[in-house]
A and B are shown apart, each in its own frame.
Chain A
Amino acid sequence: MLDSIISIFSFALAFTLVGLNIYLSTRVLNVTDLTCDASVAIGGCSYGALVVCGVNPLISILISACLGIFSGFMTSCFISHIKINQVLASVITLSVLKTFILKLASVGNNVGVKELAGKSIMSPAASSAVLAVVVVATVCIFLVKILRSEYGLAMRVYGNGEVISESLGINTNGILLIGLGIGNMLAALAGALIAQIAGTFSVNMGDGSLIFGLAAVIIGEKIIAPSNVFAAISGCFVGSLAYKLIMETANLGGASDLGSEYNNLIMGVVLVLLIAIIQNRGKGVPA
């Protein structure tokens, strides 16, 4: 029971990073970036492959972060230098990265990821949770620092459009490169954490993470109004925890009496109910 709670909590933490990637691209930079699914998969697969080969987990997680940065750079170069449409650019990146993901996953497909070295005191779930907390906390501090800096201000100007950014003397290509790089680094870190928590990695482990991230951002914004950067980040965590809980509820329902084919129905109903409750909060006849 405790292990499953810890596991839900650490999954929510991992998906917070996916949510922050979506927050960065849709809310701050105002760019349609669909690279997320591939970044999560490449992060998870590279981490898994390296750990299976016996590389130190901390070094592996850094390498997977670098691969995430690389995939963000690829999309942003397609958009800003070759002038490909944002959606098409990220779809091209998705398919290009698929090759690398397949290669990495063939190293140890469906082979359990080894446990973190030197964490034998705790149960595997707890050690993954510790890793998740450390990584997510570090990343959040780093992100708050950046978004509140002068550079973060320039990133937010970029979200207002090319004309105003250029007339304020902002290098739009540079902002897009750094912004998507950071965003996809977060997604790749999330992938590495998911691989560690779940203990497995596969080619299609990133599928659906874009939807998860988007749902986390939207639910989070409904629960905590994103008045500043800190509120936005905590909103992402609350949103991803809520979404994960809804998914688990749906799985419970499917496991008990109904068949598992009812999972998606239950999930949809619970999600709509949750949003309906939050939307109508505080509404009523004015006194």
Chain B
Amino acid sequence: MIRLEDVFIVFCPNTPLERVALRGINMTVNSGEIVTLVGNNGCGRSTLLRFLAGHLRASVGRLWFDKVDISCQTLSERSQLFSSVFYEEDVGSAGNLTVLENLVIASLHHQRRSILAPAISPEAREMFMEQLQNMNFMRIEALADERAGNIPKPHRQVLAMMIAVIKGAKVLLIDEHSTGLDQDSAIALLEATEKIVRSNHMTTIMAVSDPKFSLGVSDRTIVLSHGQVVSNLSGYDKQKTSIGDIFNKDTSSSHYAFSSQNVLSSSSSSLSESSSSSDSPLLFSNVPLSAAPDAPSSLSDVISTSSSNLPIVIERH
């Protein structure tokens, strides 16, 4: 469905600051698939997602969507197909508008907007209130008339995903949308993400800072390093591979270790917390996804098993 052919992105070409962010990405994402991008900081995850969304143009390479070349389409031309939910919340929803107004404007996507019809008719209000209630996400319906810029981050990200559904986007691009949240909210947000994406059969490409969350959800994991696809773990492959192995592959070729792992291991040594994995070089290596007889079937299972095995959980309340 989505196919990338030899995509190169170079920032500041022909200057001393020249930086090649993507070096020949070739990948295919099938319809309805959830793909996770994994890799070090600076591996090109965000660049790739911004390229797909249309914020960046490729220096070289082609992007195909259902056998149509969309490499030269701008952000607004692509917006019917792609919708983005990024760490920067302003990309997904308009902060000056209320939650309901955001939903209304999404439903008018690429339609003629009347200059006289009132923006929110009573029927539209009722319909969108019902949709908000059906989301069943941390009482989001109570925030319907709040400005989107004032609502809590998890609600804002759910709003961005609802906008994507309402405007009929076929592909959802997620970049670190749960970063910076406390653990409960992050789990709730990821569960809501899975629910929205699965029930609407949206193709999803996501980069999540904490891969232990996303692996339970995704159908396939693509590992990036230095702007290249290092490995492509799908189905049986992935089931056989623990998260630690992914990072073994990734870090073997890099000079510096996976950054969040550094933070975790340094804090574990400073707290001198003894645990089964403190002597292991890779923190996640003790979290096999399928080695256990009861292989995790859903997201919450993965989270509960991984958090019980992990020695440190940041911000445990």
Binding site for B on A (CB under 8 A): 145-146, 148-154, 156-157, 159-161, 163-172
Contact = CB atoms under 8 A, between A and B. Distances in A.
Nearest to A168: B105
A164 B94 contact: yes
A106 B94 CA distance: 48
B115 A149 contact: yes
Contact of B113 (A150, A163, A166, A167): A150
B218 interface: no
Contact of A168 (B74, B106, B119): B106
Closest CB pairs A-B (n = 9): A166-B76, A150-B113, A169-B110, A169-B109, A160-B94, A151-B115, A167-B79, A166-B75, A153-B119
A150 B114 contact: yes
Contacts of B79: 166-169
Interface string B283-311: 00000000000000000000000000000
B96 interface: yes
B167 A168 contact: yes
Nearest to A145: B116
Contacts of B110: 169
Nearest to B109: A169
A156 B96 contact: yes
B55 interface: yes
A163 B55 CA distance: 8
7 contacts: A150-B117, A150-B119, A154-B105, A164-B92, A166-B79, A167-B76, A167-B79
Contacts of B115: 146, 149-151
A160 B92 CA distance: 11
Given A167-B76, A167-B79, A149 B118 contact: yes
B97 A153 contact: yes
Of the candidates B55, B79, B90, B91, the one having the most CB atoms from chain A within 10 angstroms of its own CB is: B79
Interface residues of B, number: 34
B203 interface: no
B94 A149 contact: no
Main secondary structure of the interface of A (DSSP, over half): helix
B83 A151 contact: no
B181 interface: no
B93 interface: yes
B167 A156 contact: no
A153 B101 contact: yes
A171 B74 CA distance: 12
B108 interface: yes
Interface of B: 53, 55, 74-76, 79-80, 83-84, 90-97, 101, 104-106, 108-111, 113-119, 163, 167
A174 to B, nearest CB: 10
B81 to A, nearest CB: 11
A153 B113 contact: yes
A177 to B, nearest CB: 13
A163 B119 contact: no
Contacts of A152: 119
A149 B120 CA distance: 8
Given A150-B119, A172-B76, 16 more contacts: A146-B115, A149-B114, A149-B119, A150-B105, A151-B115, A154-B113, A156-B94, A157-B94, A160-B95, A164-B93, A164-B94, A167-B76, A169-B76, A169-B110, A170-B76, A170-B105
B90 A164 contact: yes
Contacts of B105: 150, 153-154, 157, 168, 170
A163 B91 contact: yes
A161 B97 contact: no
A225 to B, nearest CB: 13
B104 A153 contact: yes
A151 B101 CA distance: 12
A232 B116 CA distance: 19
Contacts of A156: 94, 96-97, 101
A152 B114 CA distance: 9
Nearest to B79: A167
B192 to A, nearest CB: 20
B94 A168 contact: yes
Contacts of A170: 76, 105
B104 to A, nearest CB: 7
Contacts of A153: 97, 101, 104-105, 108, 113, 119
A163 B117 CA distance: 26
A160 B75 contact: no
Of the candidates A150, A160, A161, the one having the most CB atoms from chain B within 10 angstroms of its own CB is: A150
